[in-house]
Structure 1
Amino acid sequence: MAFSDASLTALRVFREVAERGTLTAAATALGYTQSAVSRQIASLERAAGAPLLERRHDGVRLTPAGRIVVRRAATVIDQIDSTARELAGLPDEHGTVRLGWFASAGAVLVPRALAALRRTHPSITVITREGSTPAQVRALRAGTIDLAVLASAPPFRPPDTETPALELRTLAERGLQVAVPAGHPLARGEYVDVADLNGRSWIAGAGEDQVMGVWPGLDERPEIAHTARDWLAKLHLVAAGCGITTVPVSLAPALPPGVRALPVRGGPQEQRRLLLARLPGPLPEPAARLAAALRAAAIETDTPQ
């Protein structure tokens, strides 16, 4: 069986697996059974004559052959989809950019950048999707997004070890703070001492961001009272007195009433980087315009109002 005989369905399934990181997640997204996904991957591996995925306890990882196939698959699928749109008389998508972002970036940074881009370049269409930083990295590798806003914590390692290395640009580096109810004793001062964080109930992230929301380096096992992926939900839980959580400084403009965000004194300085990531290579003009708008929005967010 030659690779030219690989079906478009198998290529779509493979790209979805590469992006989602597990066969189960890909099956759920596509509405397939896991066994159907496995069969499509097996047919593609037979056509390629080599394993495309490394099965691991925490999901799957692309082999060198798999990285080649996913890049080519993304090109083929995009060309087929573009042809279908043209035949159907739908608008040309040459001005479309696909942007991925992690949860807190969608509260302030992304809306500001998109609003500015609409004013200066209204012909550019931006399609966005939210997801964890690992999910966005997989999506970049799978070719389903063009740019990704990622979060990075010390020691600021690369987001993955695949080749070629992603091109990264630091949009901002900011401190981490603690969000507390406005009426809480911790909210009386202008900062929180790290020792006063012991024995608190925390509101943490869910899914791949399970540890998000708890102050790093606590010398005790934290009590996690609630888990929520959505930042707004976490902050409203704080306002309701259900616990405390961590927030990046950039979220200050989006804090709901009844919540104060305070710096933490004592212990190591906790910094977070906001990164713009993409695959290496020439950047199309619409994507370059969006990248510039994101950089400008990051500077604006850092500027005292």
Structure 2
Amino acid sequence: MIDVQRLRVLRAVAEHGSFNQAAAALHLTPSAVSQHVAALERSLGAQVVARSTRGVTLTPAGRIMVGAAESVAAELAHAKQQVDRLGSGRSQLTLATFTSGGRLLLPGALARLTSALPDTVVHVKESEPEDSLPLLRQGAVDLALAYHFDGPLPGQLGPNSSLTWTPLLDDPLLVVLPEAHHLASRARLDIAELATEPWVLGCLKTEAYLRRYAERAGFEPEVRGTTTDYFFARSLVAAGMGISLIPSIAQSPPLAGVRAVAIAPPTPTRHIGVATIRGRNHAQATTLIQALQEQAAATASTGTV
């Protein structure tokens, strides 16, 4: 029988990429971590990690076992939640969400959920996808409202993943310019036309995304400022500090002194959806997913995105 503690240790090694960092996270010694991994390999008859001077990587067998470890951890957390629900007598639902998506979709969706299941107690955690999806895999939340850009979601969703992804809407990024900018009257811009412009950005991931698109267009963007708040970034644009790249749904509330202009294809886009644990959508989660889909469709029909 496979030891659950050894699976927990392997998960930590996979997450941190080294025995030393995994040991620190688990409050164990590196030697103890190494012994747990070696014992797991003996019980499986297969190598689960490959060691090198650059750290530790998972073997194919190791990736399978980490997936199993995530499933076991999520099942135990789910069982604990069910026991807690029995004690409280009320249904509990925990959702992780990124800020702009939650602000746009959650109020209407939660109103629908409350109307359908009035006894459900909802808990909301504000969290970006790189944090919310691990929380989901660990069983700390029931759903994660998240997004991704061109590439895959954090958490490596796929046929072997424990997570499922329900798409909700596409959120194109717009160029935000000072109102008096000579390009502000355009209906659409090619990103190559912005090669000489200074930039201020409201998200570090948006900066990485801009740099990829700029590289394709043959220029290196001059980034003069980064923030963690899209409204602040738009305020800096209004002050004439530069231009910005901001998702459509983060253009609210309106701000005087700026204008948002669409980008010609290929248009940078965030893909928004909700992630859940495969095969474990209880009535509350299923109802909320449906409510989010309805709210996303209503939002798209009004032209917000």
Q: TM-score scaled to structure 2, two decimals?
A: 0.72
Q: How big is the shift at 1:227? A: 1.9
List alignment gaps of at least 5 residues for structure 1.
none
How far off is 1:220 after superposition? 0.4
Quote how far apart the aligned CAs of 1:284 are.
0.4
Which residue of structure 2 lines up, in the alignment, with residue 36 of structure 1?
Answer: 27
Question: Equivalents in 2 of 1:46, 1:293: separation in Å?
Answer: 47
Q: For the structure 1 residues 287 and 210, does the alpha-carbon distance in structure 2 shift closer, same or farther, using more than 3 Å as the test?
A: same
Post-superposition Cα deviations, 1:43-102, rounded to whole Å, max 9, x if no partner, equal 75466456777789699766322221232123324545665x58xx97346x22222333
CA distance in 2, matches of 1:97, 1:196: 47
Alignment of 1:102-251 (within 5 A): 102-154=98-150, 157=152, 160=156, 164-165=160-161, 166-204=163-201, 210-212=207-209, 216=213, 217-251=216-250
Structure 1 moving runs of 4+ over 6 Å:
13-18, 50-62
Percent pairwise identity: 24
AA aligned opposite 1:70: E
- Paired residues of 1:104 and 1:231 also in contact (CA < 8 A): no
Post-superposition offset of 1:271: 4.0
- Cα shift readout 1:277-297 (whole Å, capped 9, x = no counterpart): 223214100001110111111
Contact 1:204 1:214 in 2 (8 A): no
The CA distance in 2 between the partners of 1:117 and 1:105, in whole Å, is 17
Q: CA deviation at 1:302?
A: 1.1
Greater Cα radius of gyration, structure 1 or 2: 2
Distance (Å, rounded) in 2 between the aligned partners of 1:272 and 1:235: 18
Q: How many residues in Structure 1 have an aligned counterpart in Structure 2?
A: 288
Deviations 1:90-117 (A, max 9, x none): 7346x22222333431331234323443
SS in 2 for 1:187: coil
Aligned residue in 1 for 2:288? 290
Does the 8 A contact of 1:200 with 1:243 survive in 2?
yes
Q: 2:297 aligns with which of 280, 295, 299?
A: 299
How far 1:224 moved relative to its partner? 1.3
The normalised TM-score by structure 1 is 0.72
Unpaired segments of 5 or more residues in structure 2? Answer: none
Does residue 22 of the first structure (1) align with residue 16 of the second (2)? yes
The code of the aligned residue for 2:120 comes to: I
SS of residue paired to 1:224: strand
3-state SS, counterpart of residue 100 of structure 2: helix
Q: 1:95-140: CA deviations, max 9, x gaps?
A: 2222233343133123432344344433223323333434333333
Q: Distance in 2 between matches of 1:131 and 1:55?
A: 33
2:63 aligned residue: 63
